[in-house]
Structure 1
């Protein structure tokens, strides 16, 4: 399970680099931060249950943040 967090770190790094190349600096910084957190968690050797609870909490926080941003911060299209 710890290896999966390193894989998540790799993919968030790839997305961050693409965002940086596309001049989306804020998005790139967000994904670079996530990369650092995922790689760090990947080397801490927690139990599998702890990794699953951390992943679920990450998903809940990210989905709530995405929903808030799209509903309240992005303007209406018309």
Structure 2
């Protein structure tokens, strides 16, 4: 399971580099931070249950953040 976090870190790094090349700096910084966090967590050798629990927590936070941003921060043209 720890290897999967390193894979997540790798893909976050790829997305961050593509966003940086596309001049989306805030987006790329968010994914650079996620890449570092996933790579760091991948080398801590937690139990599988701990990794699953952390991933569910990450998913809840990201979905709540995405929902908040899309409802309250984005302007909807009418």
TM-score class, shorter-chain normalisation, is over 0.9
Structure 1 spans left out of the alignment, 5+ residues: none
**Runs of 4 or more off by more than 6 Å in structure 1?**
none
**TM, length-normalised to structure 1:** 0.99
Displacement of 1:77 in angstroms is 2.0
The unaligned stretches of length 5 or more in structure 2 are none
Matched, 1:25 2:25: yes
Give the structure 1 partner of residue 9 of structure 2.
9
Equivalence for 1:57: 57
> Which whole-Å CA distance do the structure 2 matches of 1:26 and 1:34 have between them?
13
1:76, CA displacement in angstroms? 1.2
CA RMSD in angstroms comes to 0.4
1 CA distance for matches of 2:38 and 2:77?
35
Instruction: Give TM-score scaled by structure 2 length.
Output: 0.99
Tell me, in whole angstroms, the C-alpha distance in 2 between the residues paired with 1:57 and 1:50.
Answer: 11
What is the number of equivalent residue pairs in this alignment? 78
2:36 paired residue number: 36
